[in-house]
Amino acid sequence: MRTTRGIGALPAALHETEQASFERVLSVNLVGVWLCLKHEARVMLQHGGGAIVNTASLAGLIGFPMNVAYSPASMP
């Protein structure tokens, strides 16, 4: 199983980023992946195992200015 997540927000400086926009990105990019893993693992365990490969953006390592939610949500 392979999971990939990823939505961004409109570019904005940290002090201009709306909380709702920040939370939406984190919800999809972090909570969404966690929910996939949770349910994939349950099915895989019922069938004797398997493998899950998660991918992330390079933004989690180098960061993107003006995209304050996407980069932390992309950390490996």
Q: Catalytic residue positions? A: 70
Q: How far apart are CA 55 and CA 32, in angstroms?
A: 13
Q: How far apart are CA 23 and CA 70, in angstroms?
A: 10
Residue type, 32: G
